[in-house]
Structure 1
Amino acid sequence: MMYRVLTLVAVALILAACTTSPTGRTQLQLFPSEQIDEMGAAAFATIQEELPVSDDEAMTAYVTCVADQVTEQLDGEEGEIDWDVVLFDEPSPNAFALPGGRIGVHSGLLDVAQNQDQLATVIAHEVAHVLADHSNERISTAYATEAGLRAVEALAGDPSREQSQLMGLLGVGAQFGILLPFSRSQEREADIIGLDLMADAGFDPRESVRLWQNMAAAANGEPPEFLSTHPSHGRRMDDLQAGMPNAMTLYEEAREQGREPDCQ
């Protein structure tokens, strides 16, 4: 009887924690945003200890310029954050954004993103994961599905293993050998939100498709590990093309309002 009551209480709490994403998709969010932001800050500090920071001042300024143009268009809490941008001296074509206002870009991405608009495509996509609270959703889902069944195992587990798992759920596990790709729906959501975000910042959204063509060529037809393995290149580019009319409207409005990034 007591087990049934506890189960009903747990279900009620989970239902109460359901929210709606920016595109109208139902999400589970069990944790307060402040706690997720703290996790993001801790994860970013760990990455900075593990990966060398680039000493190329020109490239760092370029990446920061693009990221700043993107984040300046944010509203709400994210718009009030002074985003921390770091260029890591790492050859893999990788990038990530973490809750609380952290953006990391690997120097290897600059070999694939051939201009500011293509780099903005990736950065806006990663920031979109933060805007859509995908980290909270992933951690909440893992907690809801595993807390009851694996509580004892988790309590007795290796802290380093648990930390790696958490890094994966936050979206930066690839650096630590724990690759937990975002789901198909999360990736598509980040693509569309990111497309509109880069366009609103004045970056040419048409370059998003060219970026993915570069990605396909660089990876021999396979997506790089910083993005999900679920959507194929073709499907992703089709989705971007479908969202292009709205993005182009935002792009033209941004240009009319004087938002013309010139990051070099």
Structure 2
Amino acid sequence: MRSRIHWLALLAAALFLVNGCAGASVISAVPIAATGITKATQASRPINDSEEYYVGRAVAARILSKYPLDQNPKLTAYVNEVGQTVARKSSRAQTFRGYHFAVLDTPEINAFACPGGTIFITKGLVRTCATEDQLAAVLAHEVAHVAHKDGVNSISKARWTEVWTAMGAEAARQYGGVAGNLVTLFEGSIDDVFKTIVVNGYSRTAEEAADQEAVATLTKAGYDPGALPQVLDKMMAKEKGAAGGIFKTHPPTSERLAKVKAEASGAPPSKDEAVRTRRFKSITG
């Protein structure tokens, strides 16, 4: 287990990525429960948006300890623009602190959706996309995982029982600072989410639900929903035989691809796709 100091350093990196200089106000917005609420009551309540966001920041910090951020500001701004466009048309257009998109400087083909709205896409996956619509399709799929709270839903009930109990009055007296307190209390939960996002992947049901929402989101945003099966086919071809990458965490099946193609086939034709493709190529090279 990493030292607590190292954890806080990584958390600071995620804070900077998501909020810049506004980190202090965010930390104060995550309250420590200092009441005598019973274990049963605490364990049964759903995670609220601020808690989801805090867990997501810590998961983002872990991802940043594994992959460096890409240093191309033009590409980062472009990915954010496309990501915000699809996020606004998703079933969860707003999160506690909004959606934030970043590019990871690795040739690996992958994407990660952290709870609360921080979404990473690797440079390898950006290069796999041939058009802006395909990039939008990848980001819409990841936004759907955030909208459905797939990350926090991976945290076990036993883990939440432990967390909510510790967040009672006794824990509030024991720990000093708010940030250090939450890092300690949520560390096990962060492990659960990180393993799901980066190591084990989501269930087939969660993936198919994210595909379905992505198709709807792309249509609402004016993108071609057919770009989703297109980019899935491209990724499958590139990742065939590879040990890691996106299909370790987002496993495709022929049935899944058939469903996506069927859902996308009934959508109206997209306008200005050629313009978007030229823009994509001018920025990504």
* TM > 0.5: yes
Decide which of 175, 192, 204 is 1:166's aligned counterpart: 192
Structure 1 residue 181 corresponds to structure 2 residue 201 = yes
What does 1:24-43 correspond to in 2, within 5 Å? 30-43=46-59
Which residue in 2 is equivalent to 1:86? 102
Query: Which of 202, 215, 236 lines up with 1:216 in the alignment?
Result: 236
Report the CA distance between 1:59 and its aligned residue: 2.3
Unaligned 5+ runs, structure 2: 1-38, 166-183, 281-285
1:123 Cα offset (Å): 0.7
Secondary structure (helix, strand or coil) at the match of 2:68 reads coil
* Aligned mates of 2:187, 2:261 — CA distance in 1: 40
Q: Give CA-to-partner distance per residue, 1:42-89, whole Å, 9 cap, x none.
A: 222333344221112332233222212212324656268542221111
Match of 1:143 among 139, 152, 157: 157
Give the letter for the 1:192 counterpart. Answer: Q
Runs of 4+ in 1 over 4 A off after TM superposition: 144-148, 221-224, 227-231, 260-263
SS class of match (1:85): strand
Structure-1 residue corresponding to 2:139:
123
* Structure 1 vs Structure 2 CA RMSD: 3.6
1:231 deviates by 5.2
Hey, what's the Cα distance between the residues in 2 that align with 1:80 and 1:261?
30
Unaligned 5+ segments in structure 1 are 1-8, 18-28, 152-158
Q: Which has the higher contact order (CA 8 A, sep 6+)?
A: 2
CA distance in 2, matches of 1:220, 1:109: 14
Q: Please, what TM-score do these two structures have when normalized by structure 2?
A: 0.64
Aligned twin of 1:26: none
Q: Distance in 2 between matches of 1:131 and 1:60?
A: 22
Distance 1:50 1:145, change over 3 A: closer
> How many residues matched?
219
> Could you tell me the TM-score, scaled by structure 1's length?
0.68
Match among 133, 137, 142 for residue 149 of structure 2: 133
Of all paired residues, the percent bearing the same amino acid is: 25
